[in-house]
Amino acid sequence: MKIGFVGLGHMGAPMARNLLKAGHSLVVYDVVQRNVDALKAAGAGAANSAARAADDAELVVTMLPSSPHVKTVYLGNDGVLAGVAPGVTLIDSSTIDPHTAREVAVLAAEHGNPMADAPVSGGTGGAEAGTLTFMVGGDAGVFEKIAPVLRHMGKNIVHCGESGTGQVAKICNNLLLGITMIGVSEAMNLGTALGIDAKVLAGIINTSSGRCWSSDTYNPYPGVMENVPAARGYTGGFGADLMLKDLGLAVDAAKLSKQPAMLGALAQQLYQLFSAQGAGGQDFSAIINLYRHQS
Amino acid sequence: MKIGFVGLGHMGAPMARNLLKAGHSLVVYDVVQRNVDALKAAGAGAANSAARAADDAELVVTMLPSSPHVKTVYLGNDGVLAGVAPGVTLIDSSTIDPHTAREVAVLAAEHGNPMADAPVSGGTGGAEAGTLTFMVGGDAGVFEKIAPVLRHMGKNIVHCGESGTGQVAKICNNLLLGITMIGVSEAMNLGTALGIDAKVLAGIINTSSGRCWSSDTYNPYPGVMENVPAARGYTGGFGADLMLKDLGLAVDAAKLSKQPAMLGALAQQLYQLFSAQGAGGQDFSAIINLYRHQS
Amino acid sequence: MKIGFVGLGHMGAPMARNLLKAGHSLVVYDVVQRNVDALKAAGAGAANSAARAADDAELVVTMLPSSPHVKTVYLGNDGVLAGVAPGVTLIDSSTIDPHTAREVAVLAAEHGNPMADAPVSGGTGGAEAGTLTFMVGGDAGVFEKIAPVLRHMGKNIVHCGESGTGQVAKICNNLLLGITMIGVSEAMNLGTALGIDAKVLAGIINTSSGRCWSSDTYNPYPGVMENVPAARGYTGGFGADLMLKDLGLAVDAAKLSKQPAMLGALAQQLYQLFSAQGAGGQDFSAIINLYRHQS
Amino acid sequence: MKIGFVGLGHMGAPMARNLLKAGHSLVVYDVVQRNVDALKAAGAGAANSAARAADDAELVVTMLPSSPHVKTVYLGNDGVLAGVAPGVTLIDSSTIDPHTAREVAVLAAEHGNPMADAPVSGGTGGAEAGTLTFMVGGDAGVFEKIAPVLRHMGKNIVHCGESGTGQVAKICNNLLLGITMIGVSEAMNLGTALGIDAKVLAGIINTSSGRCWSSDTYNPYPGVMENVPAARGYTGGFGADLMLKDLGLAVDAAKLSKQPAMLGALAQQLYQLFSAQGAGGQDFSAIINLYRHQS
């Protein structure tokens, strides 16, 4: 299949490579020329704009950092809609707010292009291994069509509902993830201060009603688990500033839909505080250090 | 074994019945005579004070609602220590603050009685089925001795460490449980307001990084799961006012040990607000209703 | 002076009337024809677009509900910049986010029009009495020029600094106002629950370090003061949903400038919760009712 | 008048000195002998226990750090009630929880001693200058009797109501003070980040609805005011750890009386966080530094 691919950062580049490996023909574009060159070396064609990457494509995939980028890449003068042929399906795998996702999808539809929002979870590791989860918003026909391609980049392809619901699923999951990570940080920090062994406490929580992914798979307390960021100085993983971004998307969406989100808003502020203290580049589980006494 | 058992409420009564069924000989006491009569009808001996329930016992088990009750029952004029023989082991299964648990255990030790704190999780259902989890604080020798008896009331008997650590494990788990339940409430409420189907959203969360017991085993959103309080109008289960009590224990312990607990304190306040709005008697997952728009 | 005036709602209409009373000549526009007619009856000229209201003006004043309206009214096809002559000064008295205020001012300057942001405090009462406070952002020359006109609508005209700082002053003040109002609500509610007379408590706070406008001028506890919304069932005054909007502007601005705002974010969420419970139309001091036990 | 005075710390010592200056005869006690010696040098008699300080007194005044100290000093074997003659009035100026204040007053009454709680505001400066505010809980007769003596230590003597209400007034005021100080910190920090001059912003707030003591009398932003802790590196004044203690008293009282206190609880946690970061010894207005970006 001839695929136009725009956005070749830490996530987009390995995703594009997996499409190449699966035998697809790619034309790629990124604002950073070095990123384009790297994919070219791997066998992709290079374009000098999103429009050019899209104009000969049978499918377009984008992976971008934020809503304004998505608007520019799709709706700009040199954007996807300026180049793509009517009828070609568009997939945006960026994590952005659902309102923008729906707005761009409506404009794409008016242009004759079915569009799906398909944000991912699984991080750079999942992108490289081709084991991402895709949360797909779009109608059933679009989902049927794109699922086989997404399977070349991920192993879990979920249809969430109509346009925008992929983004909804992503930000709701990450809202809860941010809350549980801070919750685990508070519980582990309190327990050890009160004299229980960290591994014992984690073991009890992980077989009890406090059980959660942040505790049993990604525990933030050093020494509890191996092969997690807490075991390597909070490097790698999912950055605190990325969590801050996702919490911001969730709390903004709550505001727009007039829903209260007390814990979510406080979690966002605590990540903002943590970032302001200079630690935004660490893995998001490092938030537990906000709770450590400083001597 | 001859066991003195004090505290025959919703939890204590079925626990005592399971000890009887296992063949132990019980002498019981409760401030409510009707509760004593019911156990008597089941084959227990009746005492008219905690001291009398303890004075001939080879082991004493107590299950009481709060710290002041524990102090009274152990240290009062008619309390356990006034009746029990030196050398007899004491087990308190109440959920109380770790500082009081340690204080009473020290006084018991001075009196010649090894004591363990052994709070439970599993609720009235687990108490009746004999499937409770016991979180035990006390030295290894005490744990070895009491574990076989606890197994007649529960299926998961965990040694948490020295005296008080059973309480620490319990309140840290429930601190996290309260936070995750509100977190799931916010995520489910937000997602459905943004147009995703509740079952689809729960399915995604439950296979992603937002996964937690409050979502995959006890989801608060009506229609997502069967056999949970949300499926029966938030009756049964673990009451919101009990969660409020446990969050209070955790946040108080954080204060005493000078640890911050931002999300925990806010979760406590939200349960207090919910209770003040008249809903403290509902299951704790009903907190999701705090987020519902009222028309 | 010939003034174009756009936006004739609860605030804009009385402001425009005061300009008429001061002898200015007005051409007005509003999307609601009835609002235009009312001003016409009072002696203003009527236009059928913002551009037409501006095209003969020596000064333009706008009073609009939110950022998108300001963008449309200034930058739209029939907007102020499409009609106004170069060199004419523009005053926007809407309360909006500082980033949008600056963005529009830059575009106006490129068009040859000096622009000031001049949001107000004082409510509809102050608008009618001509006693508003204007917080003005713009360079000193612009401030000198517009201050005499603003004095016909207000009594306190403050120069806050360069473009956007009027909005900054407004949202920072209202951020603090929202926090203090909830703070007073918590303190008054707690004190009376603990047995102190509400008037006595307010009297002590008002002469002590807890003193604030929300306590000494606008106390939310019924019976403490006369002539405040609390004395008349929380009608009139400054609506809870308007406070919610302003807290949203402040917390959004904090996000954009990467500043933490923990109490502000929680205050916003509590007003969102209060609004979701159906009370957003009441005066913002009614938030104290969130704390009342319901029987 | 012959006065027994117990508790000669930073507050108690200057208060006792002012009573001596006013011509009263004092017998003093403190657990720190050096503190006793200093008052002895100033003309007071010295006792070696609270009971001895009280046994010849016509009035007893105590100034102690916390509830457990108050219980010990009044109810202990060598405590005030063990020494004082029936009918002598007792004044406790410590800041403690209202429940303990009432409990001790009831026991004192049973012993034949009328007792008032009379916590103060005004800090060590007010204690030395004799300009403290006393918030007095006790019946009208007791208030009439002790007011003239309190006037030798303070200038504002307020009758708050029955026993305990002095403490209620104090903790409600300080609850609000802690909230407003953090609120001012957020507003000043946000405003300056958005480009407004700190003095200009403070000037606007101080004449607007955000006005409060924390802004107009004790502004935490450096450079806004002279003669406040912010002007001298946050030394002197009212320590952050003392504010943490008072917020703890207020939030605990809210819990006991089943009142929600969302902002209060979060303010407490933020002071706890600030203290855990090593800054609890600074003036409480230094909390603004929690919001500063660290480079």
- Asked if B276's CB is within 8 angstroms of C293's CB, the reply is yes
CA–CA dist B181, C284 (Å, integer): 30
Residue in D277, D294, D295 closest to A294 by CB: D277
Whether C293 contacts chain B with CB within 8 A: yes
- Bridge partners of A244? none
Predicted confidence (pLDDT) per residue in C178-217, tens digit: 999 999 999 999 999 999 999 999 999 999 999 999 999 9
pLDDT of residue D236: 84
- Work out the percent of chain A whose per-residue pLDDT is above 90: 97
Give the pLDDT confidence score for residue A44 in this predicted structure: 98
Return d(Cα D255, Cα B175) in angstroms, integer. 16
CA atoms of A18 and A15, how far apart (whole Å):
5
User: What is the rounded average pLDDT of the residues C157-170?
Assistant: 97
Place of tokens 């024809």: C33
**Tens digit of pLDDT for each residue in A235-265?**
988 999 999 999 999 999 999 999 999 999 9
Q: What is the pLDDT of residue B43?
A: 97
Q: Taking CB atoms and an 8 Å limit, are B273 and C294 in contact across chains?
A: no
Taking residues B29-50, report their average pLDDT.
Answer: 97
DSSP annotation string for D213-225? HHHHTS--STTS-
Q: Which residues contact A148 (CB under 8 A, 6 or more apart)?
A: none
Q: Which of A262, A263, A275 to mutate to test the interface with C (most CBs of C within 10 A)?
A: A262
Non-local CB neighbours of C131 within 8 Å, separated by 6+ positions: C122, C125, C154, C155, C156
CA distance B235 to D28: 60
Query: In whole angstroms, what is the distance from residue B102 CA to residue A136 CA?
Result: 53
Q: Which of D134, D139, D137, D132 is nearest to D160 (CA)?
A: D137
CB of B121 within 8 A of CB of A208?
yes
Q: What is the pLDDT of residue B293?
A: 84
Is residue D175 less than 8 Å (CB to CB) from chain C? yes
- DSSP 8-state secondary structure symbol assigned to residue A212: B
Over residues C124-152, the mean pLDDT reads 96
Please determine, for residue D294, whether its predicted confidence score (pLDDT) is greater than 90.
no
pLDDT of res. A236: 84
Q: Which residues of C112-126 are buried (b: 16+ CB within 10 A; e: fewer)?
A: ebbbbbbbbbbbeeb
Average of per-residue pLDDT values in chain D:
97
DSSP SS3 for D237: coil
Per residue in B156-169, pLDDT (tens digit) is 999 999 999 999 99
Region B26-31: mean pLDDT is 98
Question: Which residue of chain B is at minimal alpha-carbon distance from A178?
Answer: B210
Cβ atoms of residues B216 and A216 within 8 Å: no
User: Which residues have CB under 8 Å from B48's CB, separation 6+?
Assistant: B29
CA distance D292 to D277: 13
Give the residue numbers of A marked as catalytic.
170
Q: Is the pLDDT of residue C19 over 80?
A: yes
Contact A263 B186 (CB under 8 A): yes
- The residues in B 218-277 lying below 8 A from D, measured between CB atoms, are 248, 251-252, 254-255, 258-262, 265-266, 268-270, 272-273, 275-276
The structure tokens listed for B235 are 């009756």
Chain B nearest-CA distance from C293, in A, is 5
- In chain B the domains, ranked by start, together with CATH numbers, are 2-162 (3.40.50.720), 168-291 (1.10.1040.10)
Cα–Cα distance, A75 to A100 (Å, whole number): 12
To the query of whether residue C258 is one of the catalytic residues in this protein, the response is no
Q: Name chain D contacts of B248, Cβ cutoff 8 Å.
A: 255
DSSP H helices in D194-216: 198-206, 213-216
Measure the CA–CA gap between A74 and A71, rounded to whole angstroms: 5
Among B2, B155, B170, B255, the active-site one is: B170
Q: What is the 3-state secondary structure (H, E, C) of C150-199?
A: HCCCEEEEEEEECCCHHHHHHHHHHHHHHHHHHHHHHHHHHHHHCCCCHH
Q: Which residues, 6+ apart, have CB-to-CB distance to B46 below 8 Å?
A: B27, B28, B29, B36, B37, B39, B40
Strand pairing class (D132-137; D120-121): antiparallel
Closest CA to A214 of A252, A175, A256: A175
Three-state DSSP string of chain C: CEEEEECCCCCHHHHHHHHHHCCCEEEEECCCHHHHHHHHHCCCEECCCHHHHHCCCCEEEECCCCHHHHHHHHHCCCCHHHHCCCCCEEEECCCCCHHHHHHHHHHHHHCCCCEEECCEECHHHHHHHCCEEEEEECCHHHHHHHHHHHCCCEEEEEEEECCCHHHHHHHHHHHHHHHHHHHHHHHHHHHHHCCCCHHHHHHHHHCCCCCEHHHHCCCCCCCCCCCCHHHHCCCCCCEHHHHHHHHHHHHHHHHHCCCCCHHHHHHHHHHHHHHHHHHCCCEHHHHHHHHCCCC
Percent of chain B with pLDDT over 70: 100
Q: How confident is the model at residue C295 (pLDDT cuts 50, 70, 90)?
A: low
In this prediction, what percent of chain D has a pLDDT beyond 90? 96
The proportion of chain C whose per-residue pLDDT surpasses 70, expressed as a percent, equals 100
Q: Specify the DSSP element, H or E, that contains B193.
A: helix B165-193
CA dihedral in degrees (D280, D281, D283, D284; nearest 10)?
A: 20
- The residue behind tokens 């507003």 is D187
Neighbouring-strand partners of residue C132? C154
CB atoms within 10 A of CB A106: 13
Please tell me whether the overall predicted TM-score, pTM, comes out greater than 0.90 for this model: yes
What DSSP character marks residue A293?
Answer: P
Tokens representing residue B188 in the block: 């489910």
Q: Give, for B204, the enclosing helix (H) or strand (E).
A: helix B198-206
Strand boundaries in A30-106, DSSP class E: 45-46, 59-62, 89-92
Amino acid at D211: R
Min CA distance, D91 vs chain C (Å)? 19
What's the pLDDT score for residue A295?
57
Tell me: the pLDDT tens digits for D87-117?
Answer: 999 999 999 999 999 999 999 999 999 999 9
Question: D189-245 pLDDT, tens per residue?
Answer: 999 999 999 999 999 999 999 999 999 999 999 999 999 999 999 998 899 999 999
Asked if D32 and D6 touch (Cβ cutoff 8 Å), the reply is no
Mean pLDDT across D8-37: 97
Which segments of chain D are extended strands (E)? 2-6, 25-29, 45-46, 59-62, 89-92, 115-117, 120-121, 132-137, 154-161
pLDDT of residue A291 exceeding 90: yes
Distances (CA, A) of A261 to A79, A265, B266, C171, C268: 35, 6, 12, 21, 10
- Alpha-carbon C59 to chain mean position: 21
CB D73 within 8 A of CB D108: no
Buried b (16+ CB within 10 A) or exposed e, C257-291: bebbbbbbbbbbbbbbbbbbbebbebbbbbbbbbb
Directed axis angle between helix D98-110 and helix D240-256, to 10°? 70
A164 touches chain B (CB under 8 A): yes
Q: Name the residue with higher pLDDT: B219 or B125.
A: B219
User: Which tokens in the block code for residue D81?
Assistant: 């009630």
Instruction: Identify the CA nearest to B185 among candidates B281, B284, B273, B276.
Output: B284
DSSP for D92-153, written as a single string: E-S---HHHHHHHHHHHHHTT--EEE--EESHHHHHHHT-EEEEEES-HHHHHHHHHHHTTT
Spatial separation of the C-alpha atoms in residues A41 and C187, rounded to whole Å: 67
First to last CA, chain A: 59
Range of lowest pLDDT (B254-263, B285-294, C108-117): B285-294
Residue B150's nearest CA partner among B105, B81, B91, B88 is B91
Q: What is the mean pLDDT of chain B?
A: 97
Per-residue pLDDT at C18 exceeds 60: yes
Is a pLDDT exceeding 90 seen at residue C122? no
pLDDT of B236 higher than 90:
no
Give the H or E element holding residue B90: strand B89-92
> 10 Å Cβ neighbour count for B51?
21
Confidence band of C123 (pLDDT split at 50, 70, 90): confident
What's the whole-number mean pLDDT along residues D53-69? 97
Mean pLDDT, chain C, whole residue set: 97
How far off is chain B from C93, nearest CA to CA, in Å?
33
Please state, in angstroms and rounded to a whole number, the distance separating the CA atoms of residues D278 and D284. Answer: 13
Whether the pLDDT of residue A293 is over 70: the answer is yes
**What's the pLDDT score for residue A191?**
98
Q: A46-50, B13-17, B121-125, B282-286: which range is least confident on average?
A: B121-125
pLDDT digits (tens, 9 = 90+) for B61-108: 999 999 999 999 999 999 999 999 999 999 999 999 999 999 999 999
Q: How far is CA D160 from CA B128, C197, C201, C202, D145, in A?
A: 52, 8, 7, 11, 15
Q: What is the DSSP letter of D64?
A: -
The chain C residue lying nearest B291, using CA atoms, is: C273
Nearest alpha carbon to residue C95 among C238, C259, C281: C238
**Which residues have a Cβ under 8 Å from the Cβ of B58 and sit 6 or more positions away?**
B1, B2, B3, B88
Chain B residues closer than 8 Å to A205 by CB: 169, 172-173, 176
Q: How far is C291 from chain A (nearest CA, A)?
A: 16
**To 10 degrees, the CA torsion angle through B78, B81, B82, B88?**
120
What 3-state DSSP class applies to B240?
helix
> Using one digit for the tens of pLDDT, what is the confidence trace for C65-78?
999 999 999 999 99
Residues C57, C4 contacting (CB under 8 angstroms): yes
Mean pLDDT is lowest, of C47-56, C220-229, C286-295, D29-38, for: C286-295
What per-residue confidence (pLDDT) applies to B295? Answer: 57
- Mean pLDDT over residues A126-132, rounded? 95
Angle, CA D85 vertex, CA D82 and CA D86 arms, to 5°: 105
